Amino acid sequence: MTSNAKATKLQDITPERQAELLMRYERVIELSRRLNAVLELPPLLLRIIEASLELTESEASSILLIDRPSGDLYFEAATGAKSEEVQRVVVPMDDSIAGWVVRHGQPLVIDDAQQDERHFQEINVETAFTTRSLIAVPLTVKGETIGVLEALNKASGQSFDKDDVSLLMTLAAQAAVAIENVRLFQQSDFIAEMVHELRTPLTAILAYADMLLAATVSEEQRTQFLKTIRSEAERLTNLTNEFLDLARLSSGRATLVRSEINLSNVVQMAVNVVRPQAVERGIRLSVRAPENLPLVRGDEQRLHQVILNLMSNAVKYNKPNGSVTVTVAVDGEDEDFMRVTVADTGRGISKDNLSHLFEKFFRVADAEGYAQGTGLGLSIAKQIVEVHSGQITVESKLDVGTTFSFTIPVLQAEES
């Protein structure tokens, strides 16, 4: 560990200083207890960096995690106005302070980051934040380093001292356990739900296959059985693909390919895909999008996925000869956001169902009482929108229709 700060012997500090240190350590214990009560990764990481700020009295904080499949080290959470830009930025393991901490498993204090050749300068450009000094400590669980917790720039302008390091190390030890617990909880939760959902199509496939093998059936019955088996197999494929997609988004492992996007163009691409289905059911499609709308920055493929899901549902659950209207406009409540709205003239959704729409595997029954789809599409759409720093909402009235809308931040001048 490199630092100009000198360790202070306990007998040399004043009673006031001892009392202050005791209070800070008691605060670590209190914050650690709160961490273990959180069972979702994004809010947990937010609490960790907020605790880091408080305990070290610093200007900023960030968490970097190691992606287990690839071994990449990347920013997962950070404070500041441009924290969204930081997320998923990959940091070189060999030429960075965080990489050094991961490789050595030891804390590091840097008094002048701009003069340290290991400092990853690109992150300053991304965030417009100048790192003067920092502490970086390993997040370690059962001897494995899973990431790094950083505190940047002592608010007082002084150097970080040994007490700051000790406090942050204590927090990091508890934070690492909390992160692993959330990952394990999410993994077991996902697996349990997935196994439950897989049983129905698997049972149907086995049952119809047994009938084909054990009974003398007509050619018409054989064809129908095979069609059912194929349909259930396709459902299994969709379930597994969407489950993996949702798991990546929920865990933060999904990488977004961000670019400047015209949302009107993305909407039109979705309309082209849905149009044959709409024509078949006599559904009228219309798009309202003024010219010269602001651009947004995001993953075009992912946003297309959201719009396509909402439009497909609007057509699927619509009344025959109904209509679907898609509107793209600057948000009326906040001009820093664009809003995309998909409104249909369908059967509507009851209040009881409305509150569960974005839950995993939840499906609203159709007019005949059967639930369609995998029940993951809206959960995935919600995750994608939130990863883009937007929000998705729904309003509905029975026998009138349903309106979904979501927001995406407008591309700012300094981003272009």
Tell me, what's the pLDDT at 372?
A: 58
Helix (H, G, I), strand (E, B) or coil at 199: helix
Helix (H, G, I), strand (E, B) or coil at 334: coil
Looking up residue 263, the CATH number of its domain turns out to be 3.30.565.10
Looking up residue 158, the CATH number of its domain turns out to be 3.30.450.40
Number of domains the chain is built from = 2
Of 161, 183, 205, the residue that ends a domain is 183
Tell me, what's the pLDDT at 371?
A: 46
Residue 202 domain-assigned (yes or no): no
Tell me, what's the pLDDT at 120?
A: 83
Tell me, what's the pLDDT at 7?
A: 40
Tell me, what's the pLDDT at 129?
A: 81
Same domain? For 22 and 116 the reply is yes
Render 85-136 in DSSP notation, one character per residue.
HHTT-EE-SSSSHHHHHHHHTS-EEES-GGG-TTS-THHHHHHT-----EEE
Q: Are 165 and 135 in contact (CB under 8 A)?
A: yes
Same domain? For 125 and 261 the reply is no
Residue 296 domain-assigned (yes or no): yes
Residue 229 domain-assigned (yes or no): no
Same domain? For 173 and 270 the reply is no
Same domain? For 174 and 289 the reply is no
Same domain? For 295 and 151 the reply is no
CB under 8 Å to 405, separation ≥6 — which residues?
A: 339, 340, 341, 342, 392, 393, 394
Of 183, 198, 232, the residue that ends a domain is 183
Same domain? For 155 and 263 the reply is no
Same domain? For 23 and 148 the reply is yes
| Distance, C-alpha 323 to centroid of its chain | 32
Residue 210 domain-assigned (yes or no): no
Structural domain for 304, as ranges: 256-416
Alpha helices in 284-416 (DSSP H): 300-316, 351-354, 377-387
Residue 22 domain-assigned (yes or no): yes
Same domain? For 169 and 81 the reply is yes
CA neighbours closer than 13 Å in the CB half-sphere of residue 331: 19
Same domain? For 25 and 152 the reply is yes
Residue 288 domain-assigned (yes or no): yes
Tell me, what's the pLDDT at 345?
A: 95
Q: What does each of the 416 residues of the chain score in pLDDT, given as a tens digit?
A: 443 333 444 445 677 777 777 787 788 888 877 887 787 888 899 999 999 999 999 999 999 999 876 788 988 888 865 566 666 688 999 889 999 999 999 999 999 998 988 888 777 666 678 889 999 999 999 889 999 999 999 988 889 999 999 999 999 999 999 998 888 777 666 676 677 677 778 888 888 888 888 767 788 888 888 988 888 888 888 778 777 777 777 666 666 788 899 999 999 999 999 999 999 999 999 999 988 899 998 889 999 999 999 999 999 889 889 999 999 999 888 888 999 999 999 989 888 888 888 887 777 765 444 445 667 889 889 989 988 889 999 999 998 999 999 999 998 765 55
